[in-house]
């Protein structure tokens, strides 16, 4: 029986894929084998030694202490692309909210009083304050061309916009998906200087913190619309507020409210709604549950942020799954112990990601607990499971 602990509400479409006869799923599972979460802040969580996997039903993993979990040999999964369409749709809505002043205009109407006839007079007199501009012919800058950025770049082309993108580590897969007339910016400054709308789709890491700050703000066109549906911290809010004050920034649309932003009439903030559609919640839950199940039951890894993809069709009599530090001679030490125990390796896969490595082996005889303990005692080995 596997214990699965849910730290946020995870769609039942995903959770129902855990067979009830082999999985106990609850929000307070003691000694969980795997944890599932969305934006729950997992830093400082008191993990137990038997934790094997963490599944983030979403994209960003900055709420997960990936390094600390790696040191425990815990595999961290996410659901890349599963909520990308939901974010794309909200960003397109955000662009329109920004250039058509939808937030302030709705606030204006909410504040009207009097009869319908009086209201009609006020509406016609007041609407001149909310005139906006259109998308076709304007330039959208997309920073980060991953699952979300590529979808937005392509959608904006279909809305008649010019699109310029910046992503120094774009994958070949994403580059293939990108509309061929999306222009590649040679550097961030060029994108910032040429764009009428700028949208951010990068993870929050040290190198992406405050991409918009007091300095980079000077580089922007006057009257730019900024959109942040990535993470709080990627733009320096105080610089954005100064830009709004000076007119450099026309509107700021973002998914991460703060007290400073909330009441500014030119800021439209949403309550972190990017991935909150039925479809995205189901897609993320299904993807992450399937990945966690395949890891728990078969040792296969797909879409982990800290370990490589490793998938092996079962062939031998037993299977050994081993998470270790990516040190020299680990395989030598592992096969030496198996050889001493008289265990023949039928098939194996070994791969690494950064300073972590993973070995999945199908063997021709049953492996006993003593051999598992001997493998686990190799310095640098973090987890050993017999499956």
Ligand X SMILES: NC(=O)c1ccc[n+]([C@@H]2O[C@H](COP(=O)([O-])OP(=O)(O)OC[C@H]3O[C@@H](n4cnc5c(N)ncnc54)[C@H](O)[C@@H]3O)[C@@H](O)[C@H]2O)c1
Residues forming contacts to ligand X in the complex (CB under 6 A) are 58-60, 80, 83-84, 87, 143-149, 166-170, 174, 201-204, 207-208, 229-231, 255, 272, 274-275
Select the span of 91-99, 136-144, 241-249, 273-281 touching ligand 3PG (CB under 6 A): 273-281
Is 269 a binder of ligand 3PG (CB under 6 A)? no
User: Cα(53)–Cα(323) distance, rounded to whole angstroms?
Assistant: 12
From the list 274, 285, 319, 333, which residue makes contact with ligand 3PG (rule: CB under 6 A)? Answer: 274
Q: How far is the CB of 26 from ligand 3PG (least distance, A)?
A: 20
Q: What is the dihedral of CA 28, 289, 293, 355, to 10 degrees?
A: -90
Q: Which of 29, 82, 85 is nearest to 60 (CA)?
A: 82
* Number of shown-chain residues binding ligand 3PG (CB under 6 A): 10
Answer for the pair 204, 62: CB distance below 8 angstroms, yes or no.
Answer: yes
Is 60 a binder of ligand 3PG (CB under 6 A)? yes
Q: Which of 273, 277, 289, 276 is nearest to 13 (CA)?
A: 289
From the list 13, 17, 29, 39, which residue makes contact with ligand 3PG (rule: CB under 6 A)? Answer: 39
Burial label, 1 (beta-carbon count in 10 A; 0-12, 13-18, 19+)? exposed
Is 277 a binder of ligand 3PG (CB under 6 A)? no
Q: How far is the CB of 273 from ligand 3PG (least distance, A)?
A: 8
Is 208 a binder of ligand 3PG (CB under 6 A)? no
Quick count: other Cβ atoms within 10 Å of Cβ 174? 20
Q: DSSP H helical segments within the chain, as ranges?
A: 12-15, 66-71, 84-99, 102-110, 116-126, 147-158, 172-177, 188-194, 214-218, 237-246, 259-262, 278-298, 330-340, 369-376
From the list 14, 34, 36, 38, which residue makes contact with ligand 3PG (rule: CB under 6 A)? Answer: 38
Residue span 74-103 as binding mask against ligand 3PG, x where in contact by CB under 6 A, dash where not: ---------x--------------------
Residue span 157-196 as binding mask against ligand 3PG, x where in contact by CB under 6 A, dash where not: ----------------------------------------
Give the distance, in angstroms, between the CA of residue 85 and the centroid of all CA atoms in the same chain. Answer: 13
Quick count: other Cβ atoms within 10 Å of Cβ 382? 17
Q: How far is the CB of 239 from ligand X (least distance, A)?
A: 17
Is 58 a binder of ligand 3PG (CB under 6 A)? yes
Which residues are within 8 A (CB) of 134 and not within 5 positions of it... i.e. 6 or more apart?
99
Q: Rounded to 5 degrees, what are φ and ψ at 107?
A: -60, -40
39 binds, among ligand X, ligand 3PG, none (CB under 5 to 8 A by kind): ligand 3PG
Residues that bind ligand 3PG (CB under 6 A): 38-39, 58-60, 83, 272, 274-276
């Amino acid at each position: 029986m596997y214990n699965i602990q849910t730290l946020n509400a995870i769609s039942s479409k995903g959770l129902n894929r855990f067979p009830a006869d082999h999985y106990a799923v609850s929000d307070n599972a003691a000694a969980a084998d795997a944890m599932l979460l969305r934006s729950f802040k997992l830093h400082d969580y008191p993990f137990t030694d038997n934790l094997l996997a963490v599944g983030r039903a979403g994209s960003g993993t900055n709420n997960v202490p990936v390094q600390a979990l790696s040191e425990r040999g815990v595999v961290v999964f996410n659901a890349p692309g599963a909520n990308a369409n939901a974010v794309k749709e909200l960003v397109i809505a955000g662009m329109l909210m920004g250039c058509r002043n939808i937030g302030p205009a709705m606030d204006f109407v909410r504040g009207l009083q009097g009869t319908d006839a009086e209201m009609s007079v006020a509406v016609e007199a007041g609407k001149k304050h909310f005139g906006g501009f259109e998308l076709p012919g304007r330039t959208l800058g997309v920073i980060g061309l991953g699952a979300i950025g590529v979808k937005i770049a392509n959608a904006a082309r279909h809305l008649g916009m010019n699109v310029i993108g910046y992503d120094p580590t774009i994958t070949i897969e994403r580059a293939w998906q990108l509309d061929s007339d999306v222009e590649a910016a040679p550097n961030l400054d060029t994108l910032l200087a040429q764009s009428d709308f700028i949208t951010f789709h990068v993870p929050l890491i040290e190198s992406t913190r405050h991409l918009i700050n007091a300095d980079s703000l000077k580089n922007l066109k006057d009257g730019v619309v900024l959109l942040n549906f990535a993470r709080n911290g990627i733009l320096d809010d105080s610089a954005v507020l100064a830009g709004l004050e000076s007119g450099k920034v026309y509107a700021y649309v973002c998914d991460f409210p703060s007290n400073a932003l909330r009441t500014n009439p030119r800021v439209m903030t949403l309550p972190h709604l990017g991935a909150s559609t039925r479809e995205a919640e189901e897609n993320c839950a299904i993807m992450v549950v399937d990945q966690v199940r395949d890891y728990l039951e078969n040792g296969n890894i797909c879409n982990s942020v800290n370990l490589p993809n490793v998938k092996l069709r079962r062939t031998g009599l037993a299977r050994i799954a081993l998470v270790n530090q990516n040190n020299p001679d680990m395989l030598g030490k592992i096969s030496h112990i198996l050889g001493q125990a008289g265990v023949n390796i039928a098939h194996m896969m070994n791969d690494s990601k950064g300073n972590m490595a993973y070995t999945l082996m199908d063997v021709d005889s049953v492996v006993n607990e003593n051999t598992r303990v001997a493998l686990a005692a190799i310095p640098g080995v973090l987890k050993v499971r017999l499956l």
